[in-house]
Chains A and B, each alone.
Chain A
Amino acid sequence: MNDISTKFYNAFIVKDRWQLYIQGLGVTIEIAVLAGLIGIVIGCIVALMKLSEPKKGHRHSLWWYIATAYVDIIRGTPSVLQLLIMWFIVFASSNNGVLVASLSFGINSGAYVSEIIRAGILAVDKGQMEAGRSLGLSKAQTMKEIVLPQAFKNVLPPIGNEFITLIKETAIVGYVSLSDLTRVASQISSRTYEAFMPLIGAAVIYFVLIKILTLLLEAFERRLRKSDLR
């Protein structure tokens, strides 16, 4: 018993180490939120690029090829490697680690988000677009008023899922020596020669963070769905 409290004391209390976890959590959240926003912006743009249909008898547009290549490359390579490439090659001269990491994760996430959004738009019944067009509304008007609001409902659960994956994926920023929650925990464990408390502690913090996020998403989804059935 005494042993456990000593370990707890060493892992969290001494030298105000708990503050390091909080700082680490701050870095994790900062990167995840920034990357999430970048991912959604890229995802929307890329999804629209991939959805642009070629006129009959024509080939796909240049945009379509660019978007397809982007998604293929990002999905076809490990995200750790993408992070290392961004850090040591593309932005080798930058010293804003958080920003470079956010950009790297954002570009990575954008590929997955674009596929989610594309699928969400395609899942809206074709008849909705036809009905809008038959009334004289333009394609853009029908998209904005009818298709996208319905697609939004479709994509919310998988986007939430993607964001949760993203939060945990940021744990690899230790590779480029950023002090996120995971790296803080592992550094403390190597200082105290005791792995259990810091690692389980960090795991609990991730778990609580994601549980809160999940509950928020579920509440939001319930509210959206209410408008369907009245």
Chain B
Amino acid sequence: MISVKNLKKNFNDHEVLKGISTEIDKGEKIAIIGPSGSGKSTFLRCLNLLEEPDSGEIWFEDQLITDPRTDINKVREHMGMVFQSFNLFANKTVMDNITLAPVKLGLKTADEAKQSALELLQRVGLTEKADSYPASLSGGQKQRIAIVRSLAMNPKVMLFDEPTSALDPEMVGEVLAVIKDLADSGMTMVIVTHEMGFAREVATRVMFIDEGIIMEENEPVKLFTDPQTQRLKDFLSKVL
């Protein structure tokens, strides 16, 4: 579904991604782990071109999205993204947050969008917040709404950029539950996370990114119990 070939990205003189290549198949749940500053978030943000790579190729369903002639807005309609800091639209109600893009982009009528938004809100247990503004919600509620906002576009893949890192500890569970639910429903997902337990439970493949390359990747049980590289051993000894 997504194919990445020798992806490189610099910030000024600092080389953040030093050539990443991987294939992500439909239905896979990839967890990306690694120390901070390793480039894992940058890699995720390159996948929908929120960061523009300096070189390399990214293919999404036979479309070369790193080609400047590709209409990236069209591609992004199929790639949901959830941010660490939620980024709910502060000037819109929860309902408008969810329905804005589908309606503006002509995918749904206002009524259809509202209907499906209510169904999605019910799924995450936040129906009564439909008319609230983001400022009045807790972090956990904001993140669940942000996930719903992405789902309202019926994406083919969901990208999560440290979705629980900005949450108070007691709210992490409610958000992870929603993501796990989504994983169980068969959604293709790429999750940058510090929640090792969650990565182990939900992921079909765990990718350890360090120093701008995929240092090691494997299915979760093997990766966590039998790390091959010294870097991963060190990393796991610190976080587990």
Contact = CB atoms under 8 A, between A and B. Distances in A.
Interface residues of A, number: 23
B36 interface: no
Interface string A124-151: 0101101111111110010001100110
Contacts of B104: 137, 141, 145
Interface stretch (B24-32, B58-66, B76-84, B217-225): B76-84
A138 B77 CA distance: 11
A146 B91 contact: yes
B74 interface: yes
Contacts of B83: 127, 130-131, 134
A230 interface: yes
Interface in B116-166: 131-133, 135-136, 146, 149-150, 153
B54 to A, nearest CB: 9
B133 A135 contact: no
Interface residues of B, number: 33
B89 interface: yes
A228 B90 CA distance: 7
A127 B85 contact: yes
Nearest to B54: A56
Given A130-B50, A230-B133, A138 B87 contact: no
A93 interface: no
Given A127-B85, A145-B104, A146-B89, A135 B136 contact: no
Nearest to A152: B91
A150 B133 CA distance: 13
A230 B87 CA distance: 18
Nearest to A129: B87
Contact of A230 (B100, B136, B150): B136
Interface in A172-230: 227-230
A137 B73 contact: yes
B105 interface: yes
A131 B153 CA distance: 13
Nearest to A56: B52
A219 B77 CA distance: 40
Contacts of B133: 227-230
A135 B87 contact: no
Contact of B74 (A136, A141, A146): A136
A130 B77 contact: no
Given A131-B88, A146-B89, A137 B132 contact: no
B41 interface: no
A25 to B, nearest CB: 38
B50 A137 contact: no
A147 to B, nearest CB: 9
B48 interface: yes
Nearest to A228: B135
A141 to B, nearest CB: 6
**Residue of B75, B90, B136, B150 ringed by the most chain A CB atoms within 10 A:** B90
A115 to B, nearest CB: 23
Contacts of A131: 81, 83, 87-89, 146
Given A141-B104, A227-B133, A228-B133, A133 B50 contact: yes
14 contacts: A127-B85, A127-B87, A130-B83, A131-B81, A132-B89, A135-B76, A135-B77, A136-B75, A136-B76, A136-B101, A136-B153, A145-B89, A146-B89, A146-B92
Interface of A: 56, 125, 127-128, 130-138, 141, 145-146, 149-150, 153, 227-230
Given A127-B87, A136-B153, A137-B100, 4 more contacts: A136-B73, A137-B104, A228-B90, A229-B133
